[in-house]
Structure 1
């Protein structure tokens, strides 16, 4: 979906407006904290696969420290793509109108039905 949005230029062109420092303060702090917390679920899986690692004392910490920025960058890019895909000025209204289906509808419009599934 991200590639489709960037490739097609978003709703009104690609913009860095969602990245302005004043924007994050406009939303709900609690909701933002929840997304930040749940966005990093999965990085602890590196410890689960410890027995499969050749040198777990080196590999597991390295994988854990690498997973955190990768997850953060990917999640941030996806949120930016969703905002640009819907339109910076209309994303809040679209999210309020269809909170459960916003991303699925957006994916369907940019990458088609198979991509939204």
Structure 2
């Protein structure tokens, strides 16, 4: 079992979801996030004062999958979020020690679905 965490541009969410759906991956969690990397932010004028904006809007997607779906999930995110420019995002893959479905107490791969 793997937990795939991806940080992507907000406007790429629909494209990523469509790519995941094509691969029959339907269970995702999405959270708003702020961050910066090589983009380093930008400067804008607000009420006559220069303001440095160095935390940019991103989305954090978390997807727990069984081993069989790991590669297809990663490929879906790469296809949907990629523009070949700085700021496309990052993908992190973590091992999951255990998963328990609260409703019926299924564990392991059966709980992830």
TM-score where L is the length of structure 1: 0.30
Higher fraction of helix: 1
Higher fraction of strand: 2
TM-score where L is the length of structure 2: 0.31
